[in-house]
């Protein structure tokens, strides 16, 4: 219950236009690399094959605590909505002046009718298949990406495969 209240408070801050109080240079490569430990812990129970590609030295201007939450939510979802002995593949790279973080996982396909709703608050895909959760994770990811001048989108959901992409503007050298 505490987690849901925390999530709702964060969303209320976004709604009030108070997205963050602490934007500073963040080594995104290092932050994602540290999240690797979280995904290892989350995935240990179901023996997932994990493939990682992290380009070193990618920096952005941001709130490290919010970015931590964004990546933890994505890693958590990739684990929760996976299959035993499935896979997770993620990459952090620079493309077109943005940090691109893509994450894909094996597991249930998101039905076509639900694709346009997955970033809505409290929305959960087919509750009979839904893992425990509040339906706030992806909406929080969306708000965090927007607060950082970026985007998040569902790139693909086909038979047993789902892929998300987060784009965040790079920290410009001065």
Supply the pLDDT for residue 174: 47
Compute the average pLDDT of residues 152-170: 91
pTM over 0.95: no
- Split at pLDDT 50, 70, 90, the class of 1 is very low
Supply the pLDDT for residue 129: 45
Q: In what order do the strands lie in the sheet with 49-54?
A: 49-54, 87-95, 98-106, 161-169, 151-158
- Split at pLDDT 50, 70, 90, the class of 141 is very high
Show the tokens assigned to 7.
Answer: 């999530």
- What pLDDT digit, counting tens, does each position of 21-57 carry? 678 999 999 999 988 777 777 777 778 899 999 999 9
**Cα(138)–Cα(119) distance, integer angstroms:** 5
Supply the pLDDT for residue 117: 72
- What pLDDT digit, counting tens, does each position of 60-117 carry? 999 998 999 999 999 988 988 888 889 999 999 999 999 999 999 998 888 777 778 7
* Domains by residue range for the chain, with CATH: 25-169 (3.30.565.10)
Q: What is the DSSP letter of 21?
A: S
CA distances 170 to 62, 68, 96, 120, Å, are 10, 17, 10, 27
């Amino acid at each position: 219950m505490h987690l849901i209240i925390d999530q709702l408070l964060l969303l209320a801050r976004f709604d009030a236009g108070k997205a963050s109080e602490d934007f500073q240079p963040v080594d995104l490569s290092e932050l994602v690399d540290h999240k690797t430990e979280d995904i290892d812990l989350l995935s240990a129970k179901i023996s997932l094959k994990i493939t990682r590609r992290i380009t070193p030295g990618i920096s952005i201007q941001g709130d490290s605590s919010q970015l931590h939450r964004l990546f933890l939510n994505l890693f958590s979802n990739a684990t929760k909505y996976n299959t035993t002995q499935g896979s997770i593949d993620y990459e952090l790279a620079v493309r077109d002046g943005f940090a691109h973080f893509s994450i894909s996982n094996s597991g249930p396909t998101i039905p076509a009718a639900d694709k346009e709703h997955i970033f809505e608050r409290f929305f959960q895909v087919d509750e009979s298949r839904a893992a425990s959760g509040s339906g706030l994770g992806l909406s929080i990811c969306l708000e965090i990406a927007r607060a950082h001048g970026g985007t998040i989108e569902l790139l693909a959901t086909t038979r047993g495969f789902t892929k998300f992409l987060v784009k965040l503007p790079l920290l410009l050298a001065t």
